[in-house]
Structure 1
C-alpha cells in the first residue's frame, strides 16, 4: 500500500476492472455550478464541528443509461465532482458521514460498506426496528475514521461518498491528492449538505432527496429510490395535515452541547436549511433566533450562548444535539435534570415545562429522516402525535424494510 508520498505507476486492477480503463471519471470538479470551490488548503480538520446545510434547488440531475442491453456503462452526476461514468455497479463503498451511508443502506447495498469517515455520527440502531434489515457493524468498527490517502488505498472501494472539497478544507488535502485517489482507486461522489454555513462551499447544495436521487443513480437503483420518495412524500403530507395552525406552533432553539452539564450552547439557525434540520422545517416550527443577529454555527463561527443569553431568547422548546446515544429517559435524567437545578437555566420556559429534548442527527439519510421526523412530531406536538416516549408509529416499518430488501 503506498504511503502519502508515493504515487503508484498506474491505476489499480479494480479501477480498470470496474471502470473499463477510463480513470479520468469526469473532471475533478467538472460541471460545477458556481465553481468547484477555491481549491485552496484551509482549515485544520476541526471543520467536523457541528453545523448544517440542506437547501432547496431548482432542478435535479438524474443518472442516464446507455442504449446497451445491460445498461452499462451509465453515468451519474453530483456537484462538485460533476459527471461520473460507471462501467459496473459499485459493490464496495465508503462514506464520510451517516447520511450518505444511510442512503446506500436504503438502496439495499448496505453489505458493501467497507469503512466510514466519521463513525461517531452514523447511528445504525434505527435499523433494529426494520424487520429483516441487518447491518454488519464490523467494517465500521474496523475503519471508523477513513480520511487519509493510505486508508483509501487500503480499503480499495469502488466509490467514495465524500465531498472532495470537504477533504480539502477540513483535512488539508490538496486537489492533487483528490485526483490521485480518484484516478488510482475510485471516484469521489458526494456533497456536504448537512449544513449551509461554510464559505468554501460555493457550489450547488442538494435537498436530502435530491442527493439521494443522485446516489441512487450512481448505484443504478432507480426503483428503490422512487419507492422511498413515494413513501416519504405520503408520510410528510400526512404529518403536515395534522399540524396545528402556525400561531399555535412552538418557537424552537436548536443547539449543540454534548455535555451532561451544559453551561453554554452553540446556536443553529433553522433558516440555514441544512439536511440535518429537515424534520424541523417540515414540521413548520418557528426559529427562536428570528430577529436576532446570532449567526449559525459553522467551522468558522464557534460562538456560544450562556444562560443569560438564553433567557433573552426564552424559547418554548430547546433541542440539544450531541446526545443521540441516550434514550429519552437518560437524556431527561442528565441534561434536563442539570438545567432544572441550574440557578439561571431553571428560569427558562422550556426547562420549567420539561420541553428540552434531543436535537437529532447532524447527518441523516432517508431512513434516519423517517424516524427523526416521527420523533420530532411527538416532541413538538404531543397532543396530536402522542408523547415522545409512546409507542405510536407514524410510518410503516415493514414497508421501509420491504423497499430495502427489494420487495417493491
Structure 2
C-alpha cells in the first residue's frame, strides 16, 4: 500500500496494554524461550468493533486494542501458525517473511496436498531469524507484524522501546507468543498478560482480515472433530502411555503432552498418559538418555518434526533399533514410533495433526495410522476413515 495516497493502515494506537516481540530457536526441542513458570490467566476471544468511518479495532493481549483503516496486505509473519492462519483465511499473498521457509513451508504443503486447490508458495520469502534487526523490519515496511511483542524484547539488541518504535513507525504488532506454552512473559509484560488457545488467536486474526465467516466455518469443523474424539476416548487407565520426543545425539529431547498452551493443541485433546507428565524441566522441554527412556518405557513414541524435511523417520527408527537399549523399548519392538508434525501449527495443520495423533494413539478406535513416508505428502487416508471432511475444509479455504 502507498502511504502517500492516504490508504495506508493506521499505525498502532496504544489504547490498552503494552508491547513486545516473539522468538524461537528450532530443531530438537528448541523453541526460542527457555523460561519456566505458568499462569492460569486466560481469556476468550472478543468481537472486533467497527466505527462509522469504516475503520475497525481488534484487541489482543499484550498489545491492547489496534485500529485498522483497511485489511493489511503486506504482513510480517515468523512462525508458521500465522502463515497457516492466513492460508486458511485466503490471505497468503500478504505474507512477506517466514521462519525457515524451506522447512516450514514444505511441511505445510505436505498437509495441503490433501486439500483440493490449497497450496502455499513460500519460495523466496526471507527468514527473519537470519537478520532479526530493526533495519530488516524497516526494509519490509509491513502493514502488520503477526508477532507477539513480548518475545522481541528477549532477543539480542532489542528492547521494549525498539519494539514500540517499529510498531509506531512501521506497523503494529499483533501476536501472543507465550500462549504457546503458558510460560511467563518478560517481567515488563507480565502484569495482566492473558493466554489464548490456538483457535482464539485464529479468531482474532480472522477479525483483523475481516474473515469471521470463514473462521466460524473452520471452527465448526474443529468442534466436530474434538467432539468425536472426546466422546470416544477410553477410560484413563485404558489409554496408552506416550512420549513426545525428538531423537538426537544419543538423547531424547522431551516435551509434555497434556499441559496448557497451543503448542500442545494436537496432543492434549487425545489425553494419553504422558510418561513424563510429572517431570518439571528448567525450561519448556527436557532431555533424557536411553536408560531413562527405558525406565519410562512408553507404549508410543511420537517423534516431533518427523514430517518435516529435517528428519528421515527410517533413519530415526534405525538408530533406535541399532541401539542396545533403544531396541528394548516397547514402542520400538511393537513398531509404534510415529512421525509427528510441528508444534508451530495453525488451524489447518491442527486438524491434520489431531487426526494423525488420534490414529497413532488409538488405532482400535479411530482407525489405523497408515504410516508416513519421509518426503511425501500427508498419507491419503480413505474417505470413510478420515476424521474430518477434506472437501468441506478445502471449500471453506478456497471460498468455493
TM-score (norm 1): 0.82
Q: 1:56 to 1:139 in 2, by over 3 A?
A: farther
Distance 2:236 2:359 in 1: 17
Distance 1:353 1:217 in 2: 46
Q: 1:342 to 1:14 in 2, by over 3 A?
A: farther
Matched with 2:215 is 225
Q: Tell whether the 8 Å contact from 1:50 to 1:256 is kept in structure 2 after alignment.
A: no
**Corresponding residue to 1:337 among 315, 318, 327:** 318
Q: Tell whether the 8 Å contact from 1:16 to 1:23 is kept in structure 2 after alignment.
A: no
Matched with 2:14 is 26
Q: 1:287 to 1:369 in 2, by over 3 A?
A: same
Q: 1:54 to 1:219 in 2, by over 3 A?
A: farther
Q: Deviations over 1:78-119 (max 9, x none)?
A: 111111000111112121100011111111111211111443
Query: How many residues align structurally?
Result: 373
Distance 1:283 1:55 in 2: 21
What secondary structure sits across from 2:153 in the alignment?
A: helix
> How far off its partner does 1:327 sit?
11
Matched with 2:145 is 160
Q: Answer yes or no: is 1:305 the counterpart of 2:288.
A: yes
**Corresponding residue to 2:181 among 180, 184, 195:** 195
Matched with 1:378 is 359
Matched with 1:208 is 198
**Corresponding residue to 1:295 among 265, 278, 281:** 281
Matched with 1:169 is 154
Q: Answer yes or no: is 1:275 the counterpart of 2:262.
A: yes
Matched with 2:115 is 130
Q: 1:55 to 1:242 in 2, by over 3 A?
A: farther
Distance 1:51 1:107 in 2: 27
Q: Give unmatched runs, 5+ long, in structure 2.
A: 372-380
Q: 1:351 to 1:56 in 2, by over 3 A?
A: farther
Alignment of 1:78-117 (within 5 A): 78-117=60-99
**Corresponding residue to 2:396 among 398, 403, 407:** 403
Distance 2:121 2:4 in 1: 23
Q: Tell whether the 8 Å contact from 1:168 to 1:174 is kept in structure 2 after alignment.
A: yes
> How far off its partner does 1:179 sit?
1.6
What secondary structure sits across from 1:18 in the alignment?
A: coil
Q: 1:287 to 1:59 in 2, by over 3 A?
A: same
Q: Tell whether the 8 Å contact from 1:14 to 1:158 is kept in structure 2 after alignment.
A: no
Q: Tell whether the 8 Å contact from 2:245 to 2:253 is kept in structure 1 after alignment.
A: yes
Matched with 1:6 is none
Q: Tell whether the 8 Å contact from 2:61 to 2:194 is kept in structure 1 after alignment.
A: yes
Q: Deviations over 1:227-255 (max 9, x none)?
A: 11111101221233333332221111112
What secondary structure sits across from 1:252 in the alignment?
A: strand
Distance 1:141 1:198 in 2: 29
What secondary structure sits across from 1:255 in the alignment?
A: strand
TM-score (norm 2): 0.84
Matched with 1:322 is 305
Q: Tell whether the 8 Å contact from 1:378 to 1:387 is kept in structure 2 after alignment.
A: yes
Matched with 2:55 is 73
Q: Tell whether the 8 Å contact from 1:73 to 1:85 is kept in structure 2 after alignment.
A: yes
> How far off its partner does 1:370 sit?
0.7
Matched with 2:245 is 255
Distance 1:383 1:67 in 2: 56
> How far off its partner does 1:326 sit?
5.3
What secondary structure sits across from 1:279 in the alignment?
A: coil
Q: Tell whether the 8 Å contact from 1:208 to 1:275 is kept in structure 2 after alignment.
A: yes
Q: Tell whether the 8 Å contact from 1:26 to 1:85 is kept in structure 2 after alignment.
A: no
Comparing 204-213 and 333-342, the one that deviates more? 333-342
> How far off its partner does 1:131 sit?
1.1
